Amino acid sequence: MTEKSANSEVAVSLERERFIIMSLADGNITTMGTHELVHPFGLINFQEDARDLEVHRDALENLIQKNGASGREASVIIGEDMVQVKRIPVALGFDDSALDAQMKWEAGQLLLSPQSAFHMVYQRLPAKTSSGNPYYLLVLIRKSILKALRTLIESAGCSFHELEIDIFSHLRALQMNYTFNREDIVALLSVQGSGLLFTFILQEDYYLSHRIHFPKMESLGSSDLVDLVKKELRRLIFGHRLGQDLGDLKKLFVLGNALTDALIQNLEKALPIPIEKLNPLKKVALPPELAQSKEILQFPERFAATIGMLLKNHPQLIQK
Residue intervals in the chain for CATH 3.30.1490.300: 84-142
pLDDT for res 51: 65
pLDDT for res 158: 95
Residue intervals in the chain for CATH 3.30.420.40: 179-277
pLDDT for res 49: 54
pLDDT for res 204: 86
pLDDT for res 218: 66
The architecture CATH gives domain 84-142: 2-Layer Sandwich (3.30)
pLDDT digits (tens, 9 = 90+) for 51-85: 668 889 999 999 999 999 999 999 999 999 999 99
The CATH superfamily of 179-277 is ATPase, nucleotide binding domain (3.30.420.40)
Terminal Cα distance for the chain, rounded: 24
Residue 3 pLDDT level (bands cut at 50, 70, 90): very low
Q: What is the pTM of this model?
A: 0.91
CA-based R_g, the chain, Å: 20
- Does residue 249 surpass a pLDDT of 90? yes
Percent of the chain residues topping a pLDDT of 70 = 95
H or E, element range at 106:
helix 96-110
Please name which of 29, 308, 11 lies closest in space to residue 175, comparing C-alpha atoms. Answer: 308
- Amino acid, single-letter form, for residue 154: E
The string over 167-180, giving b where at least 16 C-beta atoms fall within 10 Å of a residue's C-beta and e elsewhere, is bbbbbbbbbbbbee
pLDDT for res 125: 92
Looking at residues 198-215, what average pLDDT do you find? 90
Looking at residues 44-51, what average pLDDT do you find? 69
- Does residue 275 surpass a pLDDT of 90? yes
- pLDDT, averaged across the chain: 90
- Does residue 6 surpass a pLDDT of 90? no
pLDDT for res 4: 43
Looking at residues 118-136, what average pLDDT do you find? 92
Could you tell me which residues are beta bridge partners of residue 253?
188, 276
Looking at residues 5-12, what average pLDDT do you find? 76
pLDDT digits (tens, 9 = 90+) for 161-184: 999 999 999 999 999 999 988 889
pLDDT for res 52: 66
Distance separating alpha carbons of residues 304 and 297, to the nearest angstrom: 14
Q: Are 110 and 86 in contact (CB under 8 A)?
A: yes
pLDDT for res 217: 65
pLDDT for res 5: 43
Please name which of 25, 18, 39 lies closest in space to residue 302, comparing C-alpha atoms. Answer: 18
- Does residue 48 surpass a pLDDT of 70? no
In total, the chain counts a number of residues equal to 320
- Does residue 124 surpass a pLDDT of 50? yes
Distance separating alpha carbons of residues 6 and 26, to the nearest angstrom: 7
Q: Provide the 10 A C-beta neighbour count for residue 55.
A: 14
